[in-house]
């Protein structure tokens, strides 16, 4: 008797997934940005354990220390004598969290709207015109309007970012879903008598996921950037909370004399956004069958 | 680390390139002035902003002027005045050679009109009370004005030096209506209104007929400088670069962090006002649960290290404050300094312990399951934000978690008029003890500017008696007592008394900073380019 290995569909799917990760990491830029983002996320998550100081402990006597001068304050101190490295770790944590909450809520809602619009063509016009209306407002304007009602803080920023993400994801999800809807397996699923909910859940959604995921990765970078911009305008975290955009904004008064207060958080924003963009691009290349050789 | 000096030069050069192109053309006899914010309007009795005063002192005159010492009253539009023995009627004799910018001569009716407009309840002037309880204002003849009060008001002449009391032209007010002080203005100042682009720049041109300036200026004729352009440059770094590269010729808003460096720079010179009354403080709403215990308010006073604040926020250019007004203030009671609530962390902790606030697991004090986390409101800006953060950091060390909320100025004033916060930060100018205490501590001044909600009959009574006192001794007696009472009650956490510096290009002569309402240029009559 010979054992004939018949690959099960699950194993095949795993192989594809593995190869996606493999092909992604073979790209040097994608590898570096992934590595960087993993480090950033780990550092942010572990901030309370690895930060050398309490990020909120002020010491006026130690204010405005430049970086790399005193080994106990590697990145120097800010105008209140707080340790910049500790604030950077906590700030990154909050900035990433802010972006993630906005992305998941806004992006999730947007994707749902897009898929529903593609599946139920009768509501397509209504849903997508509503999205167009939302799309016509810049995120900054949403932020300003919401902050005017609630007062400054992280909540209005997250709400603004989420709302601004909904229409973008809705469009991407709808166009992808429309292509998927043309596939024979959808007709097949219908013909065997599956209900709408089952078709959407089992066939439509999974097949839209890859392009939604790529877009979300790219969008995450943008969200962080817009969030930082809103914080920079003074709408964001209130003192003493460390958040990268707010830190950059507060540092600009000291740009001449202690440039590190503004540049350290600004460079972090830059590096994080860049890494997400590079990763998003690489993911698109890997997942797009047309670019596959 | 690159040396700060190198950075400064590089950034200054970059800013000069970005900023310079347009301004380089308009040189000649034009003085460019830099400041931080604009005012919402330039109608004397309808604003309290320092930024309105900057311009109004230049385009309008008051009956009397205030000398450099902020104590001596000098003639301006009125060449002399007298007071009746009961202190209720002031008679002003006006100069007969004063001309408005449109060329018309000033007469007593203009003074009567301007003061009546200021105290008219319909105008809703926020500073109406500063005119005293006016019974009537009359023109006895074209150059004599009688100012009659219901009761004596010892500081009337001081109030009449402020820009709220500017004399304006009735025809111009009526012609422009709601646009008066927005689209135009007709006054008798050393300068005339030319144009205003809100939040950008204000252009003034010289009033060539001007010869009635106060005698503490060397120049008794029209201003030497033909035009003034007041530019709004909100960013500290940009403003500093503009000053260092002489894109602007003068400013009183050099960021504190740069002041030492600017003082050493050979192409600039800096002058400090000899007298200046402007104080930063935190106020407590005494009727709120967390703030009602005087021990908590005193602990907060003991918990804040003002000396460190002066160094870190004002870079040494301020004086720590332990009283609501500066010791230089007329009628200041020096005995209030015997009970200052100085920096003493142990004392602060002890007071909080006594008040029943025990440290919780995170170090923040708790009583009956409630955290000692007072809500703080302030208006965002520099140095307000640094100040709030520094005080927050100090209070955290004694177990108080100050919940800082900083608002943009556009909504901040509205928020500060609510009852939803425990503490707030503010800074204010004043001319005397009576001025400051009447502004803040009368029951009638609640809810603003008496945001403390301090309603005390004894305070009201002492202030009323002090204000209406005819003799200086009587006034002092009442004001001394009210100062002691307020000091004991600890309604504020005084932070610092501000210093005023005027920085200008070394090419500019006649530089001297005036402390009046924080408007250092005042009449600007002696400025002259070399």
The reply to whether B130 and B250 lie within a common domain is yes
The pLDDT tens digits for A202-230 are: 999 999 998 899 999 999 999 999 988 88
Q: Of B380, B393, B406, which has the smallest distance from its Cβ to A80's Cβ? A: B393
A234 to B305: CB separation less than 8 angstroms, yes or no: no
Determine the distance in angstroms separating the CA of B151 from the nearest CA of chain A, rounded to an integer.
Answer: 45
What is the per-residue pLDDT for A1? 45
pTM over 0.95? The answer is no
B312 to A252: CB separation less than 8 angstroms, yes or no: no
Residue B263 lies in a domain: yes
What is the per-residue pLDDT for A290? 66
The reply to whether B452 and B381 lie within a common domain is yes
What is the per-residue pLDDT for A152? 78
The pLDDT tens digits for A96-114 are: 999 999 999 999 999 999 9
- How far from the centroid of its chain's Cα atoms is residue A157's Cα? 14
Residue B14 lies in a domain: no
Long-range interactions of A247-255: CB distance < 8 A, separation 24+: A247/A78, A247/A87, A247/A88, A247/A91, A250/A78, A250/A79, A250/B385, A251/A78, A252/B235, A252/B236, A252/B237, A253/A79, A253/B236, A253/B237, A253/B255, A253/B257, A253/B382, A253/B386, A254/A64, A254/A79, A254/B257, A255/B11, A255/B237
CB B118 within 8 A of CB B45: yes
What is the per-residue pLDDT for B359? 95
Q: Of A64, A239, A252, which has the smallest distance from its Cβ to B392's Cβ? A: A239
Residue B13 lies in a domain: no
What is the per-residue pLDDT for B288? 95
Grade residue A179 by pLDDT with cuts at 50, 70 and 90. Answer: very high
Grade residue A3 by pLDDT with cuts at 50, 70 and 90. Answer: low
Q: Which of A282, A230, A258 is nearest to A64 (CA)?
A: A258
Which range marks the domain in which residue B445 is found? Answer: 278-498
Share of chain A above pLDDT 70, in %: 92
Q: Distance (Å, rounded) from C-alpha B416 to C-alpha B285? A: 11
Angle between helices A260-287 and A205-232 (to 10 degrees): 170
Each of the 530 residues of chain B gets a pLDDT tens digit; together they read 334 444 444 444 444 444 444 443 345 699 999 999 898 889 999 988 899 999 999 999 999 999 999 989 999 999 999 999 999 999 999 999 999 999 999 999 999 999 999 999 999 888 888 999 999 999 999 999 999 999 999 889 999 999 999 999 999 999 999 999 999 999 999 999 999 999 899 999 999 999 999 999 999 999 999 999 999 998 888 999 999 999 999 999 999 989 999 999 999 999 999 999 999 999 999 999 999 999 999 999 999 999 999 999 999 999 999 999 999 999 999 999 998 889 999 999 999 999 999 999 999 999 999 999 999 999 887 788 899 999 999 999 999 999 999 887 767 888 899 999 999 999 999 989 999 999 999 999 888 889 999 999 999 999 999 999 988 899 999 999 999 999 999 999 999 999 999 999 999 999 999 999 999 999 999 999 98
Chain B residues bordering chain A (beta-carbon distance below 8 Å): 1-2, 4, 7-8, 11, 235-237, 240, 255, 257-258, 305, 308-309, 311-313, 380, 382, 385-386, 388-390, 392-394, 396, 403-408, 411, 415
Residue B9 lies in a domain: no
What is the per-residue pLDDT for A14? 53
The reply to whether B238 and B292 lie within a common domain is no
The reply to whether B211 and B288 lie within a common domain is no
What is the per-residue pLDDT for B17? 46
What is the per-residue pLDDT for B6? 45
Tokens at residue A128, please?
Answer: 């997508």
Tokens at residue B516, please?
Answer: 């009046």
Q: Distance (Å, rounded) from C-alpha B327 to C-alpha B403? A: 31
Q: Of A67, A239, A256, which has the smallest distance from its Cβ to B8's Cβ? A: A256
The reply to whether B67 and B166 lie within a common domain is yes
Domain CATH code at residue B382 = 3.10.105.10
Determine the distance in angstroms separating the CA of A276 from the nearest CA of chain B, rounded to an integer.
Answer: 30
Residue B15 lies in a domain: no
Mean pLDDT (whole number) for A51-80: 91
Q: A108 in helix, strand or coil?
A: helix
The reply to whether B80 and B176 lie within a common domain is yes
Domains of chain A (ranges; CATH) run: 85-292 (1.10.3720.10)
Determine the distance in angstroms separating the CA of A48 from the nearest CA of chain B, rounded to an integer.
Answer: 14
What is the per-residue pLDDT for B5? 45
Residue B16 lies in a domain: no
Extended beta strands in B26-121, E state: 30-35, 64-66, 73-75, 78-83, 89-94
CB A106 within 8 A of CB A163: yes
Q: Is the ipTM of this complex over 0.85?
A: no
DSSP-derived pairing of the beta strands B144-149 and B365-367? unpaired
Q: For residue A29, what are the CA distances in angstroms to A38, A41, B167, B480, B503?
A: 14, 18, 71, 74, 52
What is the per-residue pLDDT for B51? 92
The reply to whether B180 and B302 lie within a common domain is no
Residues of A with CB below 8 A from B423's CB?
A: none
């Amino acid at each position: 008797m010979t054992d004939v290995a018949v690959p099960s569909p699950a194993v095949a799917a795993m192989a594809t997934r593995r190869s996606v990760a493999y092909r992604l990491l073979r790209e040097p830029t994608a590898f570096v940005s992934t590595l960087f983002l993993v480090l950033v996320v780990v550092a942010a998550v572990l901030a309370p354990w690895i930060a050398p100081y309490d990020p909120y402990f002020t010491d006026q006597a130690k204010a405005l220390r430049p970086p790399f001068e005193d080994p106990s304050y590697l990145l120097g101190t800010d105008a209140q004598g707080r340790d910049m490295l500790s604030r950077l770790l906590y700030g990154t944590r909050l900035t990433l969290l802010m972006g993630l909450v906005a992305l998941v809520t806004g992006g999730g809602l947007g994707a749902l709207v897009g898929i529903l619009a593609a599946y139920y063509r009768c509501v397509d016009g209504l849903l997508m015109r509503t999205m167009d209306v939302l799309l016509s407002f810049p995120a900054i304007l949403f932020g300003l309007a919401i902050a005017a009602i609630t007062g400054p803080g992280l909540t209005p920023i997250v709400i603004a970012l989420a709302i601004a993400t909904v229409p973008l994801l809705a469009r991407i999800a709808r166009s992808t879903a429309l292509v998927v809807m043309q596939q024979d397996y959808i007709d097949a699923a219908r013909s065997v008598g599956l209900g709408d909910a089952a078709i959407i859940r089992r066939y439509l959604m999974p097949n839209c996921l890859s392009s939604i995921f790529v877009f979300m990765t790219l969008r995450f970078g943008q969200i962080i950037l817009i969030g930082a911009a809103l914080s920079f305008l003074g709408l964001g975290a209130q003192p003493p909370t460390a958040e990268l955009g707010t830190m950059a904004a507060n540092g600009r008064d000291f740009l001449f004399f202690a440039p590190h207060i503004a540049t350290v958080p600004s460079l972090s924003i830059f590096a994080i956004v860049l890494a997400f963009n590079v990763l998003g691009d690489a993911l698109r290349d890997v997942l797009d069958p047309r670019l596959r050789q | 680390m690159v040396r700060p000096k190198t950075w400064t030069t590089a950034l200054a050069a970059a800013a000069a390139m970005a900023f310079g192109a347009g301004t380089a053309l308009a040189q000649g006899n034009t003085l460019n002035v830099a400041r931080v914010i604009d005012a919402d309007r330039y109608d004397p009795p309808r604003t309290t902003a320092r930024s309105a005063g900057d311009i109004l002192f230049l385009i309008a005159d008051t009956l009397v002027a205030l000398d450099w010492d902020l104590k001596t009253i000098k003639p301006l539009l009125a060449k002399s005045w007298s007071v009746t023995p009961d202190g209720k009627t002031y008679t002003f004799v006006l100069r007969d050679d004063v001309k408005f910018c449109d060329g018309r001569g000033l007469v007593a009716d203009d003074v009567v009109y301007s003061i009546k407009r200021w105290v008219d309840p319909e105008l809703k002037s926020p500073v109406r009370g500063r005119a005293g309880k006016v019974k009537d204002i009359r023109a006895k003849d074209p150059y004599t004005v009688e100012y009659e009060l219901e009761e004596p008001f010892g500081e009337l002449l001081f109030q009449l030096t402020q820009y709220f009391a500017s004399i304006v032209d009735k025809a111009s007010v009526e012609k422009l209506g709601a646009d008066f002080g927005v689209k135009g203005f007709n006054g008798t100042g050393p300068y005339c209104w030319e144009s205003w682009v809100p939040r950008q720049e204000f252009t003034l041109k010289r009033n060539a007929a001007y010869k009635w300036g106060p005698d503490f200026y060397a120049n008794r004729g029209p201003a030497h400088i033909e035009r003034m352009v007041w530019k709004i440059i909100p960013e500290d770094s940009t403003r500093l670069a503009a000053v260092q590269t002489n894109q602007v010729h003068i400013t009183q808003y050099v960021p504190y962090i740069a002041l030492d460096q600017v003082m050493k720079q050979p192409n600039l010179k800096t002058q400090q006002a000899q007298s200046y009354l402007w104080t930063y403080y935190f106020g407590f709403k005494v009727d709120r649960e967390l703030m009602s215990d005087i021990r908590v308010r005193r602990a907060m006073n003991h918990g804040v290290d003002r000396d460190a604040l002066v160094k870190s926020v004002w870079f040494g250019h301020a004086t720590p404050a332990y009283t609501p007004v500066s010791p230089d203030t007329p009628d200041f009671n020096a005995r209030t300094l015997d009970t200052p609530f100085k920096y003493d962390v142990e004392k602060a902790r002890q007071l909080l312990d006594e008040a029943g606030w025990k440290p919780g697991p995170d170090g923040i004090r708790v009583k009956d399951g409630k955290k000692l986390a007072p809500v703080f409101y302030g208006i965002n800006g520099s140095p307000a934000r640094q100040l709030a953060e520094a005080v927050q950091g100090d209070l955290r060390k004694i177990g108080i978690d100050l919940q800082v909320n900083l608002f943009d100025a556009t909504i901040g004033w509205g928020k500060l008029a609510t009852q939803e916060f425990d503490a707030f930060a503010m800074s204010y100018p004043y001319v005397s003890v009576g001025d400051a205490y009447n502004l803040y501590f009368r029951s009638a001044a609640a809810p603003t500017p008496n945001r403390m909600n301090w309603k005390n009959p004894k305070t009201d009574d002492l202030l009323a008696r002090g204000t209406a006192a005819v003799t200086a001794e009587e006034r002092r007696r009442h004001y001394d007592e009210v100062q002691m009472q307020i000091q004991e009650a600890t309604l504020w956490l005084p932070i610092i008394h501000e210093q005023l510096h005027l920085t200008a290009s070394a090419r500019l002569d006649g530089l001297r900073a005036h402390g009046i309402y924080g408007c250092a240029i005042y009449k600007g009559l002696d400025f002259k380019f070399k």
